[in-house]
A and B are shown apart, each in its own frame.
Chain A
Amino acid sequence: MNTLKRLYKQRQLQLMVLPGIIFMIIFNYIPIYGIITAFKRYTIVDSMSSAPWVGLENFKLIVQDSFFWESVRNTLAISLMKLFLGFAIPIFLAIMIFEVKNMRFKKIVQTISYIPHFFSWIVLGGMLISWLSTDGFFNQTLMALGLMHKGNNHLLDPSQYWWIAVLSDLWKEVGWGTILYLAGMSRIDPTLYEAARMDGATKMTQITRITIPLLAPIISLNLILNVSGLLGSNLDQTLVLMNSQNQSHAEVINSFVYRMGLTQGDFSYATAVGLGISIVSVILLVITDRITRKLNDGHSIIV
């Protein structure tokens, strides 16, 4: 009775949360429930209730599909390359920016480095198509430097696609990736550096013994997020840069789901692929969390 009374008293507050709760039920929880599609045979002609249950049949089909495995290979290759480069380079870049003494120069570098983050993938994709075309900027530069004699279209060459995907993503996000590290470094006590300098520590020793260890929590948080995102792939990027020539190396899991589900209308098959990937991603998240927890004296980084 008491709770009811309190509930009535705070009815305005409850009324304010209500839209949020309804929103989440509709737009987050109904799609989660919709995952049962993966265990049905649901095509455009069916409705959710009329579609027959098929158990794990969709998963059996997926495992036998060579196009699926090709998309897994591409996703893993691109993600691992992104992980190695995209994880380490922002740390180095942030340290370099942090060490700049001239405030104006520092500000200019930061301003420039964040800009590409705000380009959409469609815009950047359009730029890339222009840069990498036969008479585009990339070939112009190589030819001006005498490194190449005749241009070719790099996006038509499947063997170059992984590098294009990885390096363009790096170009777009590397500056943005420094923000968290820079914020972390600004909170390091400057007297630590002074003391180190008095003891004769070189700049490099200061970086490896003070800066990097104090950034460890942020670094490991980023690592966890990166590793658990290994099977995630950038659908925008893929849809812009993929073409009939490079598809064998460009198709990633997300674009495979898109093609199977929305272009070919095989909803169940595509949902099953998505579900399988989410499960593996959660497992990866838990594993990396366990590992970094060990490295961080038992403290979890997430939540």
Chain B
Amino acid sequence: MELKKKPRSEGYWFYFFNTIILILFSLLIVVPIWNILVSSVSSNAGLASGGLMLWPKDFTFQNYTKVFSDSSIPKAFGISILKTVIGAGTHTVFCAIVAYALSKSRLIGRKFYTTMGVITMYFGGGMIPTYLLIKSLGLLDTFWVYIIPALFSYYDCVILMNFFREIPASLEESAKIDGASEWKIFADIYLPLTKPALATIILFNGVGQWNDFMTTKLYITKQYLYPLQMKIYEIIVQSNLSSMTQSGSTDVIFKATTRGVQLATIVITTVPILIIYPLLQKHFIAGMMEGAVKE
């Protein structure tokens, strides 16, 4: 039993294949995205020339200038930003206020309130009853349909409750002795101490708002309220639909947009997400864990 000729270290082949497979996996994610990027900075002639697109062909920014020359795109960008900032901000504040009260075991009716909340996590009315509600509230074709129905989610409330409960009660008690109101304790003690949790909720809700397309599809018919996602849907999906029906449709949108322009719009829509991605990555693991581990 001597180790004269040491064989390859333990698990060598395991690590070897593990690394190879993970590199291939990463390429499988990155290369198609790269293809979209280089295609968006290629000319129409370059795109039509065929062959593997791993590098721009006939490099140009004309697709991007074309996108921005259509004034509806900057407007849609504005709507997207507004709904993201206002939506995520109000959602987080609203949830935090409710979560603060619900995190106190002395709250009378707490059991009833939380049961009410848990039920909403498993049951819902579904698409049509919700649509009829939104309609009867007069929210159809208003900007507020992006904000008001998205104000609260019990799931986010639970995450915040868990964070609030970890704050030592002694802090609250001493503030009470000094005569502080609940609102003051909430705003001056709890909010500053749970910044990471609040950031997680803001970021995730913000990404949700930015990426949301269903709200527009269901409740909005006015062009000027379209966010970027709906704009892409209109430009890409509908123009492709019309090109696919073999009737030789003369759809205006289709005629106006080439593949390069479509891809440029996609890239523009995704860039803000990629910019905040490092921030997201910092926060999501902690946030997901809290939500998942506890109840």
A interface residue numbers (CB < 8 A to B) = 3, 6-7, 10, 12-14, 16-17, 19-21, 23-24, 26-35, 37, 48, 93, 96-97, 99-101, 105, 108-109, 111-116, 118-123, 125-127, 129-131, 133, 135, 137, 140-141, 143-144, 153, 156, 171, 175, 179-180, 183, 197, 202-204, 235-236, 239-240, 243-245, 254, 257-258, 261-262, 267, 270-271, 274-275, 278, 282, 303
Contact = CB atoms under 8 A, between A and B. Distances in A.
B266 A123 contact: yes
Contacts of B263: 126, 130
Main secondary structure of the interface of A (DSSP, over half): helix
20 contacts: A3-B108, A20-B97, A24-B117, A27-B133, A28-B119, A30-B129, A34-B129, A93-B25, A111-B281, A123-B269, A126-B232, A129-B237, A130-B259, A141-B52, A153-B244, A175-B29, A179-B285, A183-B289, A262-B131, A271-B128
B277 A183 contact: no
A129 to B, nearest CB: 5
B138 interface: no
Contacts of A105: 19, 22
Contacts of B35: 131, 137
B281 A35 contact: no
B125 A35 contact: yes
A130 B39 contact: yes
B48 interface: yes
B159 to A, nearest CB: 14
Interface residues of B, number: 100
A169 to B, nearest CB: 14
Contacts of A20: 94-95, 97-98, 101-102, 113, 117, 152, 157
A131 B266 contact: no
A303 B114 CA distance: 12
A1 B17 CA distance: 72
A183 to B, nearest CB: 6
B193 interface: no
B107 A23 contact: no
Interface in B86-132: 94-95, 97-98, 100-102, 104, 106-109, 113, 116-120, 122-132
A144 B50 CA distance: 10
Contact of B127 (A13, A126, A179, A254): A254
Interface of B: 10-11, 14-15, 18-19, 21-22, 25-26, 28-30, 32-33, 35-36, 39, 47-48, 50-53, 94-95, 97-98, 100-102, 104, 106-109, 113, 116-120, 122-133, 137, 149, 151-152, 154, 157, 181-183, 186, 207, 210-214, 217-218, 229-230, 232-233, 236-237, 240-241, 244-245, 259, 262-263, 265-266, 269-270, 273-274, 277, 280-281, 284-285, 288-289, 292, 295
Contacts of A144: 51-52
A100 B23 CA distance: 12
Contact of B129 (A37, A100, A126): A37
Nearest to A20: B98
Contact of B126 (A6, A179, A203, A257): A257
A226 to B, nearest CB: 15
A62 B217 CA distance: 25
Nearest to B118: A303
B51 A140 contact: yes
B83 to A, nearest CB: 13
